[in-house]
């Protein structure tokens, strides 16, 4: 193999793939740059963005404002629109040349197409759809104390891992934590023998840091050389179509009113009542998997393990039983309000406030009460 990626010492810096669509950066770029900043500091290395496109250099400085020391910009007409062929070719070239030790990619539909293709070509490990990343052992252990049911002794003993029969010190490895089995299990993954360590990171999970004007000005722009030609292209994108319908921005919403199977008695009315409550709160409507699978709401409304992960200020669950898949996507909401006919519904176990009753009766009253409470302020 021409590319020796087992010499770990030869690799340094944390890289973030900064996805652009139609010449605009994606929200995940800022989330990952913000998170990458912390990891780079913990490792004592630089944080670098990797931006591919056609005439995209102008976007680079903004990435600096969220923490990038440097942005590698690769420009080419064939990089204007994402294709697996062109992007994987260019990215693998610059990685082989510049040797980052960690490479983060947003787990968007594009990131999850690109990441595995590159990891397979580079012969390295990729952890999919991560929800937590750590280098520093202290911070990692604090996270486990809070987010796991592991006992203290077990957590304290996690300084090493058995790798091919030998004890391996994990203190400088990127510890990539992700849910599996529908959120029932979490696992922390390491890539101890190969570099770069690669992770795709779930959108909406990492917190964006405040924009820093001075840091943006300092950000260095570097244009690495690469080869790319028509001969590399095995696929052709003939059109890119934005969804005509307005997409629900569940991830950014402060208030979400979600409906579940409980609306089945009168789907139209159930959704209408949820929309009215959401409008009063200034939020949006979401739905459980059952609602999306039944075709009552489109897939972009789905909250949960297979849908979106949200953490609004208030999450109202109407007629949602609270299957673990659903909880996985909303249990970190600041305040959860549940309305359900069934008093044993598991949603009440995680709700801050529960009302056991018929959503068709309770919802309009709740909308009215909130309107009145706001007016009284």
Partner 1 sequence: MDFALSREHKMLQKMMADFTEHEVKPIAAETDKTSTYPAQTIEKLFDLGVMGLCVPKQYGGAGVDALASAICVEELSKQCASTGDIVATHNGLCCAPILEHGTEEQKAKYLPMLTTGRHVGAFALTEPNAGSDASKGQTEARLEGDHYVMNGSKIFITNGYVADVFVVFAMTDKTKGTRGISAFIVEKDFPGFSIGKHEEKMGLHGSPTAEIVFQDCIVPKENLLGQEGKGFKIAMMTLDGGRIGIAAQSLGIAEGALAEAVNYTKGRVQFGKPISKFQNTQFTLADMQLGCEAGKLLTYKAAVKKQNGERYTVDAAMAKLFCSEHAMKVTTKALQMFGGYGYTKDYPMERMMRDAKITEIYEGTSEVQRMVISGNMGL
Partner 2 sequence: MKVIVCVKQVPDTSGKVAVNDDGTLNRASMETITNPDDMNAVEAALKLKDETGCKVIVVTMGPPPAEGMLRELLAMGADEAYLISGREFGGSDTYATSQIVAAGVNKIGVEKDDIVMCGRQAIDGDTAQVGPQIAEKLHLPQVTYAADIHKEGENITVKRMLEDGYMTIKVKTPCLLTCIKELNQPRYMSVGGIFEAYDKPVTVLDYEALKNDPLIDASTIGLKGSPTNILVSFTPPQKGAGMMLEGADMGTCEKLAGILAGKHII
Q: Which residues bind partner 1 (CB under 8 A)?
A: 265, 342-344
Residue 317 C-beta: closest distance to partner 1, Å? 18
CA 255 to chain centre: 19
Sheet holding 220-222, edge to edge: 126-130, 197-201, 102-106, 14-18, 47-53, 70-75, 220-222
344 contact, one of partner 2, partner 1, none, CB 5-8 Å limit per kind = partner 1
Cβ closer to partner 1: 216 or 356? 356
Give dist(CA 19, CA 108) in Å, integer. 9
252: nearest Cα among 207, 297, 211, 210: 207
Residue 162 C-beta: closest distance to partner 2, Å? 8
Give dist(CA 315, CA 145) in Å, integer. 26
Cβ closer to partner 1: 293 or 368? 293
Cβ closer to partner 2: 20 or 68? 20
269 contact, one of partner 2, partner 1, none, CB 5-8 Å limit per kind = none
Cβ closer to partner 1: 220 or 342? 342
Residue 80 C-beta: closest distance to partner 2, Å? 13
Residue 344 C-beta: closest distance to partner 1, Å? 6
313 contact, one of partner 1, partner 2, none, CB 5-8 Å limit per kind = partner 2
CB contact burial 70-79 (16+ within 10 A = b; e otherwise): bbbbbebebb
SS (H, E, C) 41-69: HHHCCCEEEEEEECCCHHHHHHHHHCCCC
Secondary structure of residue 98 in the 3-state scheme: helix
Give dist(CA 120, CA 146) in Å, integer. 34
CB neighbour list of residue 161: distance below 8 Å, 6 or more residues apart: 167, 168, 170, 190, 192
The torsion of the CA quartet 284, 289, 291, 297, rounded to 10 degrees, works out to: 50
Structure-token match 């299957």, residue found: 323
Structure-token match 């950014």, residue found: 252
Cβ closer to partner 1: 239 or 343? 343
Residue 323 C-beta: closest distance to partner 1, Å? 14
Residue 220 C-beta: closest distance to partner 2, Å? 31
Please, what's the largest Cα pairwise distance for the chain?
71
Cβ closer to partner 2: 68 or 281? 281
Residue 257 C-beta: closest distance to partner 1, Å? 24
Give dist(CA 119, CA 323) in Å, integer. 34
374 contact, one of partner 1, partner 2, none, CB 5-8 Å limit per kind = partner 2
Cβ closer to partner 1: 265 or 374? 265
188 contact, one of partner 2, partner 1, none, CB 5-8 Å limit per kind = partner 2
262: nearest Cα among 254, 274, 270: 270
342 contact, one of partner 1, partner 2, none, CB 5-8 Å limit per kind = partner 1
375 contact, one of partner 1, partner 2, none, CB 5-8 Å limit per kind = none
231 contact, one of partner 2, partner 1, none, CB 5-8 Å limit per kind = none
Residue 174 C-beta: closest distance to partner 2, Å? 11
Cβ closer to partner 1: 149 or 344? 344
């Amino acid at each position: 193999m021409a590319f020796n990626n087992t010499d770990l010492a030869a690799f340094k810096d944390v890289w973030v793939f900064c996805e652009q669509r139609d010449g605009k950066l994606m929200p995940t770029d800022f989330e990952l740059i913000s998170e990458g900043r912390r990891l780079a500091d913990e490792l004592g290395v630089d944080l670098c963005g990797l931006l591919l496109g056609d005439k995209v250099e102008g976007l680079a400085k903004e990435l600096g404002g969220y923490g990038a020391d440097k942005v590698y910009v690769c420009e080419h007409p064939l990089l204007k629109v994402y294709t697996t062929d062109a992007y994987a070719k260019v990215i693998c070239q610059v990685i082989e040349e510049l040797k980052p030790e960690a490479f983060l990619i947003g787990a968007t539909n594009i990131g999850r197409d690109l990441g595995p293709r590159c990891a397979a070509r580079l012969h390295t490990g990729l952890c999919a759809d991560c929800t937590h990343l750590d280098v520093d052992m202290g911070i990692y252990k604090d996270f486990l104390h809070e987010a796991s049911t592991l006992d203290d002794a077990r957590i304290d003993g996690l300084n090493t891992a058995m790798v091919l029969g030998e004890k391996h010190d994990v203190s400088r490895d990127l510890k990539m934590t992700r849910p599996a089995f529908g959120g029932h299990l979490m696992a922390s993954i390491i890539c101890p023998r190969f570099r770069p360590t690669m992770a795709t990171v779930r959108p909406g999970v990492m917190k964006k840091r405040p924009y820093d004007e001075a840091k943006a000005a300092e950000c260095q722009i570097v244009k690495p050389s690469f080869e790319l030609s028509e001969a590399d292209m095995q696929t052709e994108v003939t059109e890119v179509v934005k969804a005509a319908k307005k997409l629900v921005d569940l991830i950014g919403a402060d208030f979400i009113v979600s409906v579940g199977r409980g609306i089945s008695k009168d789907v139209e009315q159930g959704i209408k009542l949820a929309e009215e409550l959401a409008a009063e709160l200034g939020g949006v409507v979401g739905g459980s998997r059952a609602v999306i699978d039944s075709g009552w709401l489109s897939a972009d409304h789905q909250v949960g393990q297979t849908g979106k992960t949200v953490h609004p200020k208030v999450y109202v669950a109407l007629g949602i039983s609270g299957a673990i898949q659903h909880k996985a996507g909303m249990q970190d909401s600041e305040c959860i309000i549940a309305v359900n006919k069934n008093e044993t519904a598991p949603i009440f176990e995680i709700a801050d406030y529960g009302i056991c009753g018929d959503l068709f009766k309770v919802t309009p009253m709740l909308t009215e009460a909130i309107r009145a409470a706001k007016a009284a302020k």
